[in-house]
Amino acid sequence: MRTEGDRESDNVEDQRGMMGGRGGLVAGGGVGTIIIALLVYFLGGDPRAVLQPNSGGGGAPSGQLANPSNNPAEEKLVKFVKVVLADTEDVWRDQLPRQTGKQYRNPHLVLFTGRVQSACGMTSTASGPFYCPGDEKVYIDLAFYNELSRRFKAPGDFAEAYVIAHEVGHHVQKILGITDKIDAQRGRVSKEQYNRLSVRLELQADFFAGVWAHHGQKGKHFLEPGDLEEAIRAASAVGDDSIQKQTQGYVVPDSFTHGTSRQRMAWFKKGYETGDISQGDTFNSNDPN
Ligand SMILES: [Zn+2]
């Protein structure tokens, strides 16, 4: 992905090395713990049982904040995240009013380490990146990108960009009122039906990520050879991008089962090929081939 000289977003909140809530600094637990937590999640368990506060070894010494600027590779990644977020702002501020008549408002993106407090509750790194409709913020622990590359075998900068674009896709759903509509169904339909709606919500976020890529490419020509494959690999690999704990009555889209790899790739591709929001009604249309 070409990003040289691109604008960086001002809407990134850097909370790395801080702890979101009670109890002071949490010593991250390290990559090993995260892997175990992910495994627990894939096997159907609750990774929070593994990633409880104070259970981790390693990380910054208690009471001392990690200094985020000590690691040049990580700072490069932070810059990249800011550029990608700015790219999503540019595309959606232009396309959302143009295609739907609705104004776009920029979400914030919070970088955190270990655990974070949001309007959706306390969440740990094991949940993966997520969007909280309650405060309209995207939350990412950069450690997730190591997982994406190593554990999920989906490396590459455009894979990383896709992850952000997917979460921003949930923000677009919030603005369009789709999140509330699905939330209103909770308790009124069967658990199976509600789970199905949640999957369709996820697939639509993939579709919106594709719509972003379409218009970003049109306006900025940011794609390099292999980029789309990177995103598709990521869409396929991290089917379960989050298990956000939900509170306060909000739907948290990533709390539920995601679609299959095939479905996710298909909807991302359709968004990329059409760039047309109206073709992304994942709730009432069949999956593209
Ligand atoms: Zn999602």
pLDDT tens across the length of the chain (289 residues): 999 889 999 999 999 988 654 433 444 445 555 555 555 555 555 555 445 444 333 444 443 444 555 789 899 999 999 999 999 999 999 999 999 999 999 999 999 999 999 999 998 887 788 999 999 999 999 988 888 888 777 888 999 999 999 999 999 999 999 999 999 998 899 888 888 898 899 999 999 999 999 999 999 999 998 898 888 888 776 654 333 333 333 434 444 466 777 788 899 999 999 999 999 999 999 989 8
For residue 29, how far is its CA from the centre of ligand 1 (angstroms)?
Answer: 24
128 backbone φψ class: left, alpha, beta (φ>0; ψ -120 to 50): left
For residue 269, how far is its CA from the centre of ligand 1 (angstroms)?
Answer: 16
For residue 163, how far is its CA from the centre of ligand 1 (angstroms)?
Answer: 9
The DSSP letter of residue 254 is: G
For residue 186, how far is its CA from the centre of ligand 1 (angstroms)?
Answer: 18
For residue 210, how far is its CA from the centre of ligand 1 (angstroms)?
Answer: 13
Q: pTM score, two decimals?
A: 0.79
How wide is the angle at C-alpha 211 spanned by C-alphas 265 and 274, nearest 5°? 85
For residue 257, how far is its CA from the centre of ligand 1 (angstroms)?
Answer: 10
Q: By C-alpha distance, which of 41, 70, 74 is closest to 244?
A: 41
For residue 130, how far is its CA from the centre of ligand 1 (angstroms)?
Answer: 7
